[in-house]
């Protein structure tokens, strides 16, 4: 079952309320997404840890119903 | 020794090979675009690596996700340390960080 972009976005926002989230449906098939997530919570975290935080927000959907989510994470400039 | 025999198997692989890519398919015949992209990057860098096909071993396929606490494959290990999945590898390759990691950790290059 593919996921809606809005569902991905709200799951990330629920877990990380101060995050800026942008989701892109790469192929328009509801199955291959890219997510850009900026959050002050990423400060001081390695890239692996940042991605793990997003995966945690997705509660196991990544690698399951969410087949492909290209992730880009970072700390906002003003944080 | 851990409770999970697959964890021991994985640990042994990453202990005995300096660069290990857990992937779908083999380096010669990757069976997933993300795995293929990682193979291509490592090949371009001329790093010696061992590709482990998780499709041929369901225990490792599930086990590696718990082992790393990472939900997707491919996964790259250098000198026993998890470096990242496909997105991170690609980003690090593009900004030169991956080469730095390989050099710092003393990965071998094909001569």
Pairing of strands B75-78, B19-23: antiparallel
User: In which region does residue B102 sit, left (phi positive, over 0), alpha (psi from -120 to 50) or beta (all else)?
Assistant: alpha
- The whole-angstrom separation of Cα A32 and Cα A70 is 8
Complex ipTM = 0.77
pTM of the model: 0.88
Q: Closest residue of B to A47, CA-based?
A: B88
| CB nearest to A72's CB, from B70, B71, B87 | B87
Domain A5-74, CATH among 3.40.605.10, 3.30.565.10, 3.30.300.90, 3.40.50.2300: 3.30.300.90
Report pLDDT digits (tens) over B13-26: 999 999 999 999 99
Q: Mean pLDDT across the stretch B47-66?
A: 96
Give the distance from residue B72's alpha carbon to the nearest chain A alpha carbon, in angstroms: 5
Q: Closest residue of B to A71, CA-based?
A: B87
> Any idea where the domains of chain A sit in the sequence?
5-74
Q: What angle do CA B90, A58, B67 make, to 5 degrees?
A: 65
Tokens of A33: 């997404």
pLDDT reported for residue A27: 86
> Any idea where the domains of chain B sit in the sequence?
5-105
Q: Mean pLDDT across the stretch B54-78?
A: 95
Q: What is the CA radius of gyration of chain B?
A: 13
CATH no. of B5-105: 3.40.30.10
- The whole-angstrom separation of Cα B37 and Cα B41 is 6
């Amino acid at each position: 079952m593919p996921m809606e972009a809005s569902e991905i976005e709200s799951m990330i926002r629920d877990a990380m309320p101060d995050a800026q989230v942008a989701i892109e449906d790469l192929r328009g098939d509801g199955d291959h997404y890219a997510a850009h997530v900026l959050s002050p919570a990423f400060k001081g975290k390695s890239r692996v840890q940042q991605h793990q935080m997003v995966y945690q927000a997705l509660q196991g959907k990544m690698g399951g119903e969410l087949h492909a989510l290209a992730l880009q994470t970072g700390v906002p400039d003003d944080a | 020794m851990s409770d999970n025999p697959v964890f021991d198997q994985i640990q042994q692989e990453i202990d005995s090979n300096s660069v290990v890519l857990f992937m779908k398919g083999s380096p010669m015949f990757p069976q997933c675009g993300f795995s293929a992209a990682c193979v291509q990057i490592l090949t371009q860098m001329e790093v010696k690596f061992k590709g482990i096909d998780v499709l041929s071993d369901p225990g490792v396929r599930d086990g590696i996700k718990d082992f790393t606490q990472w939900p997707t494959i491919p996964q790259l290990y250098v000198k026993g340390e998890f470096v990242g999945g496909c997105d991170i590898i690609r980003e690090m390759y593009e900004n030169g960080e991956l080469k730095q990691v390989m050099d710092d950790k003393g990965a071998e290059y094909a001569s």
